């Protein structure tokens, strides 16, 4: 059976990168796979989160997922900390993964920065928890943005080493699903940096809660170069900011970069940016309205997470029993 697991951190407002790189793809995959979507609050606390904000963000991210079209009846939607299997399996994986593997993770290096000694142990072990998230359900496919590719490779290594060490075929080797025209949406202020919730500059990202004016202003002020748009993809080489905006347009418009350049090639950003702003508002406004409506009903959102956690426990419980048996934990 093909089963999907994917997650998003409640570390702040979702942005266009989370939407185009992940959540929109979830909506497309829900017809084809059994899907488990998780608000990964345990991952979020690997860097400091204000408790009240964490709770609010967990509800908001859930609401945005549903507003974007993830069907809470057909799929499982829950927050990670409600299902203990994630923490239990992560500990076992802490004992399977090697220090050398984690030392190679670029996300830790980027997030810990120069002050590694002060980073939390959780931030370092983050990829082991991510492997546990996926493998606690024996998920076979994981839709993610480009930035998570390395963590998924580690998940495959952990599954293979566990199976090898214990001489049992317990875990599947997961396949990443990376698709769409916006697998890596870049910052609006720097085309070499990915759009991220934790970027201190609000102007670097379009948040899913931005109003019409904010979206238009951020796109108008997005960094670009003085050249008009090229006629073909080759002309976007060495022009990261232009390539980013064209990619965003293509993804929002369900078209391709070639088609966008076919329409806007030779035109300047003075023409392209307002068209992009209109398109972004057009596509995002209905999602934002629905998110706001759902946020006004916190009990409804909590109910979805509670029901989702129950279903998630039903799937993970027999898998954890199998893992504990294989590892040699005595269940008296």
Q: Which residues are catalytic?
A: 111, 194, 197
Question: CA-CA distance, 65 to 287, in Å (whole number)?
Answer: 9
For ligand AQP, the closer CB: 251 or 323: 251
Strand order in the sheet with 34-39: 76-79, 34-39, 3-8, 141-143, 175-177
Return the residue nearest ligand AQP (CB atom): 21
In the complex, minimum distance from the CB of residue 22 to ligand AQP, in angstroms, rounded to a whole number: 4
In the complex, minimum distance from the CB of residue 290 to ligand AQP, in angstroms, rounded to a whole number: 20
> Residue holding tokens 């997922």?
65
How are beta strands 141-143 and 76-79 bridged, if at all? unpaired
Question: CA-CA distance, 13 to 295, in Å (whole number)?
Answer: 13
Question: CA-CA distance, 127 to 96, in Å (whole number)?
Answer: 12
For ligand AQP, the closer CB: 188 or 277: 188
For ligand AQP, the closer CB: 260 or 320: 260
Which positions ≥6 away from 114 have C-beta within 8 Å? none
Q: Where do contacts with ligand AQP occur on this chain (CB under 6 A)?
A: 7-9, 11, 15, 17-18, 21-22, 144-145, 147-148, 183-185, 194-198
- Residue pair 207/15 in contact (Cβ under 8 Å)? The answer is yes
In the complex, minimum distance from the CB of residue 40 to ligand AQP, in angstroms, rounded to a whole number: 6
For ligand AQP, the closer CB: 138 or 205: 205
For ligand AQP, the closer CB: 145 or 323: 145
Choose among 231, 36, 63, 213: nearest CA to 141.
Answer: 36
Choose among 308, 322, 321: nearest CA to 7.
Answer: 308
In the complex, minimum distance from the CB of residue 100 to ligand AQP, in angstroms, rounded to a whole number: 23
Rounded to 5 degrees, φ, ψ at 84 are -70, -15
Q: Residue 135 class from Cβ within 10 Å (0-12 exposed, 13-18 middle, 19+ buried)?
A: buried
Please state at what angle helix 212-221 crosses helix 269-295, rounded to 10 degrees: 150
- Residue pair 157/114 in contact (Cβ under 8 Å)? The answer is no
In the complex, minimum distance from the CB of residue 117 to ligand AQP, in angstroms, rounded to a whole number: 20
For ligand AQP, the closer CB: 196 or 224: 196
């Amino acid at each position: 059976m093909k089963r999907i697991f994917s997650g998003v951190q409640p570390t702040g407002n979702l942005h266009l990168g989370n939407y185009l790189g992940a959540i929109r793809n979830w909506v497309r995959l829900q017809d084809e796979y059994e899907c488990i979507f998780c608000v990964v609050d345990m991952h979020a606390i690997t860097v400091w989160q204000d408790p009240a904000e964490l709770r609010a963000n967990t509800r908001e991210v859930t609401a945005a997922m549903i507003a974007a079209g993830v069907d809470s009846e057909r799929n499982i939607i829950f927050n990670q900390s409600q299902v203990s299997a994630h923490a239990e399996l992560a500990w076992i994986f802490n004992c399977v993964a090697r220090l050398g593997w984690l030392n190679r993770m670029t996300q830790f290096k980027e997030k810990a920065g120069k002050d590694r000694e002060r980073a939390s142990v959780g931030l370092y072990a983050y990829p082991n928890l991510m492997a546990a998230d996926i493998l606690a359900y024996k998920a076979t496919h994981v839709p993610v943005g480009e930035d998570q590719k390395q963590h998924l490779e580690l998940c495959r290594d952990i599954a293979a080493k566990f199976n090898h060490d214990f001489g049992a075929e317990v875990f599947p080797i997961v396949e990443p699903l990376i698709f769409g025209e916006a697998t890596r949406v870049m910052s609006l202020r720097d085309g070499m940096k990915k759009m991220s919730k934790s970027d201190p500059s609000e102007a670097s990202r379009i948040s899913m809660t931005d109003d019409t004016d904010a979206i238009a202003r951020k796109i108008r002020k997005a960094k670009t170069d003085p050249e008009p748009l090229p006629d073909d993809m080759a002309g976007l080489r060495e022009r990261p900011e232009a390539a980013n905006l064209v990619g965003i347009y293509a993804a929002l418009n369900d078209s391709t970069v070639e088609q966008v350049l076919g329409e806007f090639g030779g035109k300047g950003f003075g023409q392209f940016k307002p068209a992009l702003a209109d398109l972004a508002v057009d596509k995002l406004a209905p999602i934002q309205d629905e998110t706001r409506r759902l946020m006004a009903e916190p009990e409804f959102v909590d109910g979805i997470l509670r029901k989702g956690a129950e279903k998630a426990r039903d799937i993970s419980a027999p898998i954890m029993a199998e893992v504990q048996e294989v590892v040699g934990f005595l269940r008296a």
